[in-house]
Amino acid sequence: MNNLLKLGIILLLSTGGVWAQLRFEKTEHDFGDLDADSERLVDIEVTNIGKKREYFLSFRKEEPLSCLSNGQRIDPDSTLFIRIQVNPVKKGPFEYRVQIFTSDREEATVIRVRGNVKELPEDKLAALQKCPDFNQRPAKARLSSEQELLVIDAQTQKALDAKVFLVQQGIELDPEWVKSQKKKVNIPIGMTQFYAVSEGYEPADTAVFIALTSKLIVIRMHQKELPVLTEKQELTEPQKVPEKEVIEAKNVEEAILAEERKKILAEGPLEELDSADFTLKNFKPVNVVFVADVSGSMRTGDKANLMKYALNQLIDMLREEDRMGIVSFATNSKLLLSADEKLSRSESKERISGLRTGGSTAGVEGIKKGLEELDKQFLPQGTNMLVIVTDGAFELTRQGERLIERAKEKGVEISIVGIKTGPTTAEKLQSKVNDGFFVLIRNLGDAQRKLKALVRKSSYRGR
């Protein structure tokens, strides 16, 4: 009996049985039929059901697979995720293995993935080079984790009452009220923008990557400075917006506009109009195509999120007479949104939120395709705009400069939007547009208003 018991224990240990503390959600996944735009990644949940801390150690995978974990330490009753992405290079059925080594067992846990490739992506090289990214969510899985939010006075460190707006992938989440103490909130995984407003304080804007591990997110706010006037000075500032209007804002747009009503790109008579005015009486019909940089450098920090949010804000402003297209560029260029598709606002925003970053920078190819798209909907009596949105990590070659010059001769306005570009890069980008506009977006406030202000300025009938 003793020998049989010893044999059973040996077998259980060698196979990672009941003695293993880490439980894998599944060890097989079938992707089914994969078309050119099909999702090619899956998350495997690994839960620690034991009483001691365990660790993810390493992967051993076959070549067409990419793997990523969202951490290494797995505490008791906590979870880690393994993301597996398949990058097939030929059509037909496939089956691959990933060996996952963890501290609770000697042998690797083997995950098998299979599927059938019916269509390959248009850009095979970019698809092969692409790495999995926890800022990108599988369509059927919206991972989230519990975090703690705290808003404080930057000088006194005192906790504040504040309303905090959250933005992910350019889309607003439900706002959170933080009442002078830490607040536990459940937030989806990914790069997240936080915009806090509180009575008597300047708005605070910060970006944090939300992972599965919990953390304390501290938002520091600075008190508003009151103007000091001499006896001879007259108060010529615009009427102050009541504080409660800021606090009672229902979304980020209302909160930002309440704080920054006069901070618009316009000058002269345009400044006298209400910032929400985009009527045909005052503004020409608009045909605008954005050439959006989605290369690897735009993956850094919150750049992609700011770009998506800015584009989504403009969608809400455009009228039925206006046309908007988007061409994305990385290793190659791709038409993301055609002006003649007649999509609803929600459908257009979904396209924008699905933009993924990665690859090199084919800026000139993107400009060429953008101008072709602009020509399809050209408005002789309207404003025709090509807007390049980038962090500046691309070179405008002589070919690109010639394309831009020819477009200007036809009456196309060329502008550049810089996403978190430094002073040197911003100056360089500004020199490329000459008589066009350059707009710098550094934070959520800029993203909310500056792109809309650019389009209003360009299409204003009083120019």
Q: What's the CATH code of the domain at 183?
A: 2.60.40.1120
Q: Which stretches of 115-197 are DSSP H helices?
A: 124-129
CB-based contact 194:176 (threshold 8 Å): no
Please indicate, yes or no, if residue 257 is contained in any of the structural domains.
no
Q: Residue 17 — pLDDT band, cuts 50, 70, 90? A: very low
- Cα gap 268→12, rounded to integer Å: 79
Q: What percent of the chain has pLDDT above 90?
A: 27
Q: Residue 210 — pLDDT band, cuts 50, 70, 90? A: confident
Residues 116 and 187 in one domain: no
Compute the average pLDDT of residues 195-213.
86
Residue that wins the pLDDT comparison between 142 and 156: 156
- Cα gap 413→423, rounded to integer Å: 24
Residues 166 and 116 in one domain: no
Q: Residue 213 — pLDDT band, cuts 50, 70, 90? A: confident
pLDDT in tens, 316-344: 999 999 999 999 888 788 888 887 887 88
- Of 7-11, 78-82, 286-290, the one with minimum mean pLDDT is 7-11
- pLDDT for position 100: 92
Q: Is the pLDDT of residue 143 over 50?
A: yes
Question: 440 pairs with which residues across the strands?
Answer: 418
Residues 451 and 400 in one domain: yes
Residues 74 and 149 in one domain: no
Please indicate, yes or no, if residue 138 is contained in any of the structural domains.
no
- pLDDT for position 310: 93
| Buried residues in 5-22 as b, exposed as e (16+ CB within 10 A) | eeeeeeeeeeebeeebbb
Residues 400 and 445 in one domain: yes
pLDDT in tens, 357-411: 877 777 788 888 999 999 998 999 999 999 999 888 667 778 888 888 888 888 9
- Cα gap 358→216, rounded to integer Å: 30
| Buried residues in 392-419 as b, exposed as e (16+ CB within 10 A) | bbbebeeebeebbeebbeeebbbbbbbb
- Of 127-141, 199-213, 232-246, 260-274, the one with minimum mean pLDDT is 232-246
Residues 380 and 309 in one domain: yes
CB-based contact 331:462 (threshold 8 Å): no
CATH code for position 41 = 2.60.40.10
Residues 282 and 427 in one domain: yes
Domains in the chain: how many in total? 3
Q: Residue 237 — pLDDT band, cuts 50, 70, 90? A: very low
Q: Which of 129, 153, 169 is the last residue of a domain?
A: 129
Residues 240 and 292 in one domain: no
- Cα gap 271→283, rounded to integer Å: 13
- pLDDT for position 149: 94
Inter-CA distances, 257 with 86, 302, 393, 458, Å? 44, 21, 31, 20
Q: Residue 164 — pLDDT band, cuts 50, 70, 90? A: very high
pLDDT in tens, 261-316: 434 343 447 777 887 889 999 999 999 999 998 887 887 778 889 999 999 999 99
Question: 196 pairs with which residues across the strands?
Answer: 164, 204
Inter-CA distances, 209 with 169, 190, 193, 352, 374, Å? 12, 6, 9, 20, 36
Please indicate, yes or no, if residue 301 is contained in any of the structural domains.
yes
- pLDDT for position 16: 40
- pLDDT for position 185: 92
- pLDDT for position 382: 94
Residues 124 and 150 in one domain: no
- pLDDT for position 245: 53
Please indicate, yes or no, if residue 148 is contained in any of the structural domains.
yes
Please indicate, yes or no, if residue 73 is contained in any of the structural domains.
yes
Residue that wins the pLDDT comparison between 197 and 342: 197
Residues 310 and 444 in one domain: yes
- Cα gap 390→333, rounded to integer Å: 14
- Cα gap 388→463, rounded to integer Å: 22
Q: Is the pLDDT of residue 451 over 50?
A: yes
- 18: tokens are 């009941």
9: Cβ contacts below 8 Å, ≥ 6 apart: none
CB-based contact 80:46 (threshold 8 Å): yes
CATH code for position 378 = 3.40.50.410
438: Cβ contacts below 8 Å, ≥ 6 apart: 415, 416, 417, 418, 426, 429, 430
Please indicate, yes or no, if residue 136 is contained in any of the structural domains.
no
Residues 103 and 163 in one domain: no
Please indicate, yes or no, if residue 265 is contained in any of the structural domains.
no
Residue ranges making up the domain that contains 157? 144-225+236-252
Q: What percent of the chain has pLDDT above 70?
A: 80
CB-based contact 21:54 (threshold 8 Å): yes
Q: Is the pLDDT of residue 123 over 90?
A: no
pLDDT in tens, 417-437: 999 887 777 777 777 766 778
- 456: tokens are 């209003």
Q: Residue 190 — pLDDT band, cuts 50, 70, 90? A: confident
How many other CB atoms sit within 10 Å of the CB of residue 282? Answer: 16
- pLDDT for position 226: 62
Half-sphere exposure in the Cβ direction for 443 (13 Å, CA) = 11
The mean of the pLDDT values for the chain is 80
- pLDDT for position 74: 84
Residue that wins the pLDDT comparison between 273 and 259: 273
Q: Is the pLDDT of residue 151 over 90?
A: yes
Q: Which of 129, 153, 173 is the last residue of a domain?
A: 129
Please indicate, yes or no, if residue 260 is contained in any of the structural domains.
no
- Cα gap 35→333, rounded to integer Å: 19
Per DSSP, 423 falls in state H
- Cα gap 315→451, rounded to integer Å: 10
Q: Residue 109 — pLDDT band, cuts 50, 70, 90? A: very high
Residues 290 and 404 in one domain: yes
- pLDDT for position 229: 45
The total number of residues written for the chain in this structure: 463
Residue that wins the pLDDT comparison between 195 and 8: 195
